[in-house]
Structure 1
Protein backbone atom coordinates (compact mmCIF):
# COMPACT_ATOMS: atom_id res chain seq x y z
CA UNK A 1 0.00 0.00 0.00
CA UNK A 2 1.34 3.44 -0.85
CA UNK A 3 2.46 5.84 1.81
CA UNK A 4 1.23 9.38 1.89
CA UNK A 5 2.86 12.60 3.03
CA UNK A 6 0.62 14.17 5.68
CA UNK A 7 0.05 17.86 6.28
CA UNK A 8 -2.26 19.94 8.46
CA UNK A 9 -4.72 20.37 5.59
CA UNK A 10 -5.09 16.83 4.17
CA UNK A 11 -8.16 15.86 6.21
CA UNK A 12 -9.51 19.17 7.49
CA UNK A 13 -11.88 21.53 5.72
CA UNK A 14 -14.19 20.88 2.78
CA UNK A 15 -12.63 18.84 -0.04
CA UNK A 16 -13.93 18.49 -3.58
CA UNK A 17 -12.69 16.92 -6.80
CA UNK A 18 -13.25 18.54 -10.18
CA UNK A 19 -13.16 16.08 -13.08
CA UNK A 20 -12.31 18.01 -16.24
CA UNK A 21 -13.98 16.80 -19.44
CA UNK A 22 -12.66 19.41 -21.85
CA UNK A 23 -11.13 22.88 -22.06
CA UNK A 24 -11.92 25.30 -24.89
CA UNK A 25 -9.68 28.00 -26.32
CA UNK A 26 -10.66 31.58 -25.55
CA UNK A 27 -10.28 34.88 -27.40
CA UNK A 28 -7.59 35.88 -24.92
CA UNK A 29 -5.84 32.49 -25.17
CA UNK A 30 -6.42 30.85 -28.57
CA UNK A 31 -3.87 28.08 -27.78
CA UNK A 32 -5.57 27.06 -24.56
CA UNK A 33 -6.23 23.34 -24.03
CA UNK A 34 -6.61 20.90 -21.12
CA UNK A 35 -2.87 20.43 -20.67
CA UNK A 36 -2.22 24.17 -20.49
CA UNK A 37 -5.16 24.68 -18.10
CA UNK A 38 -3.90 21.97 -15.73
CA UNK A 39 -0.41 23.50 -15.75
CA UNK A 40 -1.94 26.85 -14.75
CA UNK A 41 -3.64 25.20 -11.79
CA UNK A 42 -0.46 23.33 -10.82
CA UNK A 43 1.30 26.70 -10.58
CA UNK A 44 -1.48 27.89 -8.23
CA UNK A 45 -1.46 24.79 -5.99
CA UNK A 46 -0.89 25.23 -2.26
CA UNK A 47 -1.33 22.70 0.61
CA UNK A 48 -3.93 24.95 2.27
CA UNK A 49 -5.90 25.44 -0.96
CA UNK A 50 -8.10 26.47 -2.54
CA UNK A 51 -6.33 24.49 -5.29
CA UNK A 52 -4.19 21.81 -3.64
CA UNK A 53 -3.38 19.64 -6.67
CA UNK A 54 -4.07 19.27 -10.38
CA UNK A 55 -3.11 16.42 -12.68
CA UNK A 56 -3.54 15.80 -16.39
CA UNK A 57 -5.26 12.51 -17.26
CA UNK A 58 -5.54 10.19 -20.24
CA UNK A 59 -8.93 8.53 -20.39
CA UNK A 60 -12.55 9.53 -19.90
CA UNK A 61 -11.40 12.76 -18.24
CA UNK A 62 -8.60 15.11 -19.21
CA UNK A 63 -7.81 16.32 -15.73
CA UNK A 64 -8.47 16.01 -12.00
CA UNK A 65 -8.32 19.03 -9.69
CA UNK A 66 -8.45 18.84 -5.91
CA UNK A 67 -9.97 21.80 -4.06
CA UNK A 68 -9.86 22.48 -0.32
CA UNK A 69 -11.75 25.22 1.51
CA UNK A 70 -12.90 25.82 5.07
CA UNK A 71 -15.41 23.39 6.58
CA UNK A 72 -18.80 23.72 4.94
CA UNK A 73 -17.71 26.49 2.55
CA UNK A 74 -19.76 25.37 -0.46
CA UNK A 75 -20.02 29.03 -1.45
CA UNK A 76 -16.21 29.14 -1.69
CA UNK A 77 -16.21 26.13 -4.03
CA UNK A 78 -18.80 27.84 -6.21
CA UNK A 79 -16.76 31.06 -6.22
CA UNK A 80 -13.70 29.13 -7.40
CA UNK A 81 -15.58 27.56 -10.29
CA UNK A 82 -17.19 30.90 -11.21
CA UNK A 83 -13.76 32.48 -11.71
CA UNK A 84 -12.92 33.51 -15.28
CA UNK A 85 -10.15 30.89 -15.30
CA UNK A 86 -12.86 28.22 -15.52
CA UNK A 87 -14.65 29.79 -18.51
CA UNK A 88 -14.86 27.20 -21.29
CA UNK A 89 -14.03 24.30 -18.95
CA UNK A 90 -16.53 21.42 -19.04
CA UNK A 91 -16.36 19.56 -15.75
CA UNK A 92 -18.07 17.53 -13.04
CA UNK A 93 -17.84 18.25 -9.32
CA UNK A 94 -17.73 15.65 -6.54
CA UNK A 95 -17.58 16.56 -2.85
CA UNK A 96 -15.48 14.26 -0.67
CA UNK A 97 -17.33 12.29 1.99
CA UNK A 98 -16.03 9.48 4.23
CA UNK A 99 -12.43 8.46 3.53
CA UNK A 100 -11.05 4.90 3.55
CA UNK A 101 -9.71 3.97 6.98
CA UNK A 102 -6.85 1.49 7.14
CA UNK A 103 -6.38 -1.37 9.62
CA UNK A 104 -4.60 0.88 12.11
CA UNK A 105 -7.32 3.55 11.78
CA UNK A 106 -5.24 5.77 9.50
CA UNK A 107 -7.15 7.76 6.89
CA UNK A 108 -6.08 7.04 3.31
CA UNK A 109 -7.62 9.42 0.78
CA UNK A 110 -6.53 10.54 -2.68
CA UNK A 111 -4.00 13.13 -1.57
CA UNK A 112 -0.36 12.31 -2.45
CA UNK A 113 1.18 9.76 -4.80
CA UNK A 114 4.54 8.05 -4.58
CA UNK A 115 4.60 5.88 -7.72
CA UNK A 116 4.90 6.93 -11.35
CA UNK A 117 1.68 5.50 -12.82
CA UNK A 118 -1.63 6.39 -11.16
CA UNK A 119 -5.18 5.36 -12.07
CA UNK A 120 -8.15 7.37 -10.87
CA UNK A 121 -11.25 5.19 -10.90
CA UNK A 122 -14.85 6.28 -10.57
CA UNK A 123 -16.78 3.46 -8.91
CA UNK A 124 -20.53 2.87 -8.83
CA UNK A 125 -21.90 0.39 -6.29
CA UNK A 126 -25.18 -1.31 -5.48
CA UNK A 127 -27.60 0.85 -3.50
CA UNK A 128 -26.69 1.06 0.17
CA UNK A 129 -23.29 -0.64 -0.17
CA UNK A 130 -20.91 2.32 -0.56
CA UNK A 131 -19.41 2.11 2.95
CA UNK A 132 -19.08 -1.67 2.76
CA UNK A 133 -17.27 -1.53 -0.59
CA UNK A 134 -15.07 1.37 0.57
CA UNK A 135 -13.98 -0.65 3.60
CA UNK A 136 -12.92 -3.63 1.47
CA UNK A 137 -10.86 -1.84 -1.18
CA UNK A 138 -7.52 -1.75 0.65
CA UNK A 139 -7.52 -5.47 1.47
CA UNK A 140 -8.81 -6.58 -1.93
CA UNK A 141 -6.47 -4.41 -4.04
CA UNK A 142 -3.27 -4.87 -2.01
CA UNK A 143 -0.14 -2.93 -2.90
CA UNK A 144 -1.76 -1.14 -5.84
CA UNK A 145 -4.32 0.58 -3.57
CA UNK A 146 -3.53 4.19 -2.72
CA UNK A 147 -6.65 5.72 -1.28
CA UNK A 148 -10.39 6.04 -1.75
CA UNK A 149 -13.25 8.26 -0.67
CA UNK A 150 -17.01 8.16 -0.89
CA UNK A 151 -18.00 11.17 -2.98
CA UNK A 152 -21.18 13.14 -3.50
CA UNK A 153 -21.40 13.56 -7.25
CA UNK A 154 -21.77 11.44 -10.37
CA UNK A 155 -20.35 8.23 -8.87
CA UNK A 156 -20.24 6.65 -5.40
CA UNK A 157 -16.50 6.23 -4.74
CA UNK A 158 -13.37 7.83 -6.17
CA UNK A 159 -10.42 5.44 -5.97
CA UNK A 160 -6.69 5.84 -6.62
CA UNK A 161 -4.43 2.96 -7.64
CA UNK A 162 -0.73 3.31 -8.32
CA UNK A 163 2.35 1.36 -9.30
CA UNK A 164 5.65 1.54 -11.16
CA UNK A 165 4.21 0.43 -14.52
CA UNK A 166 0.99 0.77 -16.48
CA UNK A 167 0.66 -3.01 -16.72
CA UNK A 168 0.67 -3.47 -12.93
CA UNK A 169 -1.88 -0.73 -12.30
CA UNK A 170 -4.14 -1.77 -15.17
CA UNK A 171 -4.08 -5.37 -13.95
CA UNK A 172 -5.46 -4.27 -10.57
CA UNK A 173 -8.21 -2.28 -12.30
CA UNK A 174 -9.29 -4.99 -14.70
CA UNK A 175 -8.93 -8.06 -12.50
CA UNK A 176 -9.01 -7.47 -8.74
CA UNK A 177 -11.34 -4.46 -8.78
CA UNK A 178 -13.91 -6.14 -11.01
CA UNK A 179 -14.15 -9.08 -8.59
CA UNK A 180 -15.21 -7.01 -5.58
CA UNK A 181 -18.81 -7.78 -4.70
CA UNK A 182 -21.13 -4.79 -4.76
CA UNK A 183 -19.37 -2.89 -7.55
CA UNK A 184 -21.59 -2.47 -10.60
CA UNK A 185 -19.55 -0.16 -12.82
CA UNK A 186 -16.14 1.50 -13.02
CA UNK A 187 -14.59 4.19 -15.22
CA UNK A 188 -10.83 4.68 -15.27
CA UNK A 189 -8.37 7.37 -16.33
CA UNK A 190 -4.59 7.12 -16.02
CA UNK A 191 -1.74 9.55 -15.56
CA UNK A 192 2.03 9.42 -15.49
CA UNK A 193 2.75 11.30 -12.27
CA UNK A 194 6.18 12.31 -13.58
CA UNK A 195 4.25 15.04 -15.42
CA UNK A 196 3.37 16.62 -12.06
CA UNK A 197 5.82 19.31 -10.89
CA UNK A 198 7.71 18.25 -7.78
CA UNK A 199 7.02 14.52 -8.16
CA UNK A 200 10.12 12.43 -7.56
CA UNK A 201 10.24 9.52 -10.03
CA UNK A 202 10.19 6.10 -8.40
CA UNK A 203 13.68 4.66 -8.07
Structure 2
Protein backbone atom coordinates (compact mmCIF):
# COMPACT_ATOMS: atom_id res chain seq x y z
CA UNK A 1 0.00 0.00 0.00
CA UNK A 2 1.38 3.42 -0.97
CA UNK A 3 2.16 5.88 1.86
CA UNK A 4 -0.24 8.39 0.28
CA UNK A 5 -3.05 5.80 0.37
CA UNK A 6 -2.32 5.03 4.03
CA UNK A 7 -2.33 8.74 4.85
CA UNK A 8 -5.65 9.19 3.02
CA UNK A 9 -7.19 6.27 4.96
CA UNK A 10 -5.90 7.67 8.25
CA UNK A 11 -7.37 11.13 7.53
CA UNK A 12 -10.67 9.55 6.46
CA UNK A 13 -10.85 7.60 9.71
CA UNK A 14 -10.10 10.70 11.76
CA UNK A 15 -12.82 12.61 9.94
CA UNK A 16 -15.29 9.77 10.46
CA UNK A 17 -14.46 9.59 14.17
CA UNK A 18 -14.96 13.34 14.59
CA UNK A 19 -18.65 13.04 13.66
CA UNK A 20 -19.30 9.89 15.68
CA UNK A 21 -21.83 9.96 18.49
CA UNK A 22 -20.34 11.09 21.82
CA UNK A 23 -19.57 8.48 24.46
CA UNK A 24 -21.28 9.24 27.80
CA UNK A 25 -18.89 10.18 30.59
CA UNK A 26 -19.00 8.02 33.72
CA UNK A 27 -19.21 10.58 36.54
CA UNK A 28 -18.62 7.96 39.22
CA UNK A 29 -15.11 7.23 37.94
CA UNK A 30 -12.70 9.79 39.38
CA UNK A 31 -9.63 7.57 38.98
CA UNK A 32 -6.66 8.78 36.96
CA UNK A 33 -6.29 7.14 33.54
CA UNK A 34 -3.11 5.32 34.57
CA UNK A 35 -4.86 3.60 37.48
CA UNK A 36 -7.05 0.51 37.14
CA UNK A 37 -10.47 2.03 36.35
CA UNK A 38 -13.56 -0.06 35.75
CA UNK A 39 -13.54 -1.58 32.26
CA UNK A 40 -14.33 1.16 29.73
CA UNK A 41 -16.71 0.76 26.85
CA UNK A 42 -14.99 -1.29 24.18
CA UNK A 43 -12.97 0.62 21.59
CA UNK A 44 -14.60 0.91 18.18
CA UNK A 45 -14.25 -2.17 15.99
CA UNK A 46 -13.85 -2.72 12.29
CA UNK A 47 -10.79 -2.83 10.05
CA UNK A 48 -10.55 0.92 9.44
CA UNK A 49 -11.05 1.74 13.11
CA UNK A 50 -8.44 -0.84 14.13
CA UNK A 51 -6.00 0.55 11.56
CA UNK A 52 -6.58 4.08 12.84
CA UNK A 53 -6.05 2.97 16.45
CA UNK A 54 -2.87 1.10 15.54
CA UNK A 55 -1.44 4.02 13.53
CA UNK A 56 -2.23 6.35 16.44
CA UNK A 57 -0.60 3.91 18.89
CA UNK A 58 2.59 3.69 16.79
CA UNK A 59 2.82 7.47 16.40
CA UNK A 60 2.33 8.16 20.12
CA UNK A 61 4.68 5.34 21.14
CA UNK A 62 7.37 6.69 18.82
CA UNK A 63 6.97 10.21 20.19
CA UNK A 64 7.30 8.91 23.78
CA UNK A 65 10.51 7.10 22.78
CA UNK A 66 11.95 10.23 21.16
CA UNK A 67 10.90 12.84 23.72
CA UNK A 68 11.00 11.21 27.17
CA UNK A 69 14.52 12.14 28.33
CA UNK A 70 14.36 13.63 31.83
CA UNK A 71 17.40 15.60 32.99
CA UNK A 72 19.53 14.40 35.90
CA UNK A 73 17.63 14.68 39.23
CA UNK A 74 14.48 15.84 37.36
CA UNK A 75 12.10 12.85 37.51
CA UNK A 76 9.36 12.75 40.15
CA UNK A 77 6.95 9.85 40.64
CA UNK A 78 3.70 9.53 42.57
CA UNK A 79 1.20 6.93 43.70
CA UNK A 80 -1.95 6.65 45.73
CA UNK A 81 -4.55 8.92 47.22
CA UNK A 82 -5.27 10.95 50.34
CA UNK A 83 -8.61 10.98 52.17
CA UNK A 84 -10.95 13.71 50.98
CA UNK A 85 -13.51 15.82 52.83
CA UNK A 86 -15.62 12.78 53.69
CA UNK A 87 -13.50 9.87 54.99
CA UNK A 88 -16.51 7.53 54.59
CA UNK A 89 -16.81 8.37 50.89
CA UNK A 90 -13.93 6.89 48.86
CA UNK A 91 -14.88 9.00 45.84
CA UNK A 92 -13.91 12.14 47.78
CA UNK A 93 -10.28 11.00 48.04
CA UNK A 94 -7.58 13.10 46.38
CA UNK A 95 -5.01 11.79 43.91
CA UNK A 96 -1.32 12.38 44.65
CA UNK A 97 -0.81 13.54 41.06
CA UNK A 98 -1.66 17.17 41.86
CA UNK A 99 0.70 17.28 44.84
CA UNK A 100 3.56 15.67 42.89
CA UNK A 101 3.08 18.07 39.98
CA UNK A 102 3.10 21.07 42.32
CA UNK A 103 6.34 19.90 43.96
CA UNK A 104 7.83 19.30 40.50
CA UNK A 105 6.88 22.79 39.34
CA UNK A 106 8.17 24.45 42.53
CA UNK A 107 11.50 22.60 42.34
CA UNK A 108 12.08 22.69 38.58
CA UNK A 109 11.45 18.97 38.21
CA UNK A 110 8.98 16.93 36.17
CA UNK A 111 6.44 14.13 36.50
CA UNK A 112 5.47 11.76 33.70
CA UNK A 113 2.30 13.82 33.17
CA UNK A 114 4.38 17.02 32.91
CA UNK A 115 6.42 15.36 30.16
CA UNK A 116 3.22 14.38 28.33
CA UNK A 117 2.01 18.00 28.53
CA UNK A 118 5.39 19.48 27.60
CA UNK A 119 5.59 17.45 24.40
CA UNK A 120 1.85 17.64 23.66
CA UNK A 121 1.45 13.87 23.86
CA UNK A 122 -2.18 12.85 24.38
CA UNK A 123 -2.76 9.22 25.32
CA UNK A 124 -6.28 8.35 24.13
CA UNK A 125 -8.92 7.01 26.46
CA UNK A 126 -9.31 3.22 26.45
CA UNK A 127 -12.85 3.61 25.09
CA UNK A 128 -11.39 5.19 21.96
CA UNK A 129 -8.21 3.18 21.45
CA UNK A 130 -7.61 -0.44 22.44
CA UNK A 131 -3.87 0.31 22.82
CA UNK A 132 -4.35 2.93 25.55
CA UNK A 133 -3.10 0.72 28.41
CA UNK A 134 0.01 -0.21 26.39
CA UNK A 135 0.72 3.49 25.81
CA UNK A 136 0.47 4.28 29.54
CA UNK A 137 2.79 1.36 30.26
CA UNK A 138 5.23 2.60 27.59
CA UNK A 139 5.19 6.13 29.06
CA UNK A 140 5.68 4.89 32.65
CA UNK A 141 8.46 2.42 31.89
CA UNK A 142 10.29 4.81 29.53
CA UNK A 143 10.17 7.62 32.11
CA UNK A 144 11.46 5.28 34.84
CA UNK A 145 14.20 3.74 32.65
CA UNK A 146 15.47 7.17 31.60
CA UNK A 147 15.37 8.78 35.04
CA UNK A 148 18.83 9.30 36.52
CA UNK A 149 20.46 10.83 39.56
CA UNK A 150 18.30 11.45 42.62
CA UNK A 151 14.57 10.93 42.29
CA UNK A 152 11.55 11.24 44.56
CA UNK A 153 8.18 9.53 44.86
CA UNK A 154 5.19 11.13 46.63
CA UNK A 155 2.84 8.57 48.14
CA UNK A 156 -0.68 8.89 49.53
CA UNK A 157 -2.05 7.19 52.62
CA UNK A 158 -3.36 4.43 50.39
CA UNK A 159 -1.32 3.01 47.52
CA UNK A 160 -2.83 0.08 45.66
CA UNK A 161 -0.60 -3.02 45.67
CA UNK A 162 -0.93 -3.14 41.87
CA UNK A 163 -0.34 0.56 41.26
CA UNK A 164 1.81 1.60 38.30
CA UNK A 165 4.48 2.90 40.68
CA UNK A 166 4.56 -0.30 42.76
CA UNK A 167 4.52 -2.79 39.88
CA UNK A 168 6.42 -0.98 37.11
CA UNK A 169 8.19 2.24 38.00
CA UNK A 170 9.71 1.42 41.40
CA UNK A 171 11.20 -1.96 40.34
CA UNK A 172 12.87 -0.22 37.37
CA UNK A 173 14.22 2.57 39.58
CA UNK A 174 15.51 0.11 42.19
CA UNK A 175 17.34 -1.96 39.55
CA UNK A 176 18.80 1.01 37.67
CA UNK A 177 22.49 1.87 38.07
CA UNK A 178 21.62 5.39 36.94
CA UNK A 179 19.50 6.10 40.04
CA UNK A 180 21.78 7.24 42.85
CA UNK A 181 19.01 7.79 45.38
CA UNK A 182 15.25 7.17 45.57
CA UNK A 183 13.33 8.87 48.36
CA UNK A 184 9.69 8.05 49.11
CA UNK A 185 7.70 10.83 50.79
CA UNK A 186 4.56 9.82 52.67
CA UNK A 187 2.57 13.00 52.31
CA UNK A 188 -0.19 12.03 54.77
CA UNK A 189 2.20 11.87 57.76
CA UNK A 190 5.11 14.02 56.54
CA UNK A 191 7.70 11.22 56.72
CA UNK A 192 10.33 10.40 54.12
CA UNK A 193 12.45 7.31 53.62
CA UNK A 194 15.43 6.73 51.36
CA UNK A 195 14.72 3.34 49.77
CA UNK A 196 17.74 3.30 47.47
The TM-score range, normalised by the shorter chain, is under 0.3
Output the TM-score relative to the length of structure 2.
Answer: 0.27
Higher helix proportion, which one?
Answer: 2
- Structure 1 length normalisation: TM-score? 0.26
Asked which structure has the greater CA Rg, the reply is 2
